[in-house]
Amino acid sequence: MEHSAAYDNKDLHVGDIVRFHTPYPDEDPNTIFIVLWSYYDPAGKSSRAELVKFDQSSKQTPVIQKWFIRDLERVPEVSPELLKQIELFMKSKLGNAIISKLVI
């Protein structure tokens, strides 16, 4: 299996808030993403998640990307304020096409 016991990335679901567990030096370690879809490969080699980057300041439509689940970890504690900001972000930036997939 590709999952590490050190990182909480098992059974990611739609709406989970995640980040890279080991970001590159030039990346912000506090960048968070919202899971839109996840696929766990039965062979454990190419499990992936479709994510949207949480960025309130962006004026553009957010880019949806696919990443290996083994590179992600669930954000352990999310404040109620941040949850509210994410909910507003998903409603205002992405529209009904994606918010309907999420359970917020």
Q: How far, in Å, are 15, 97, 99, 102 from residue 23 at the CA level? A: 21, 30, 27, 26
38: nearest Cα among 104, 88, 102, 93: 102
Interatomic CA distance for residues 14 and 92, integer angstroms: 18
pLDDT in tens, 2-24: 444 467 788 898 889 999 999 99
pLDDT score of 94 more than 80: no
At 89, is the pLDDT very low, low, confident or very high (cuts 50, 70, 90)?
Answer: confident
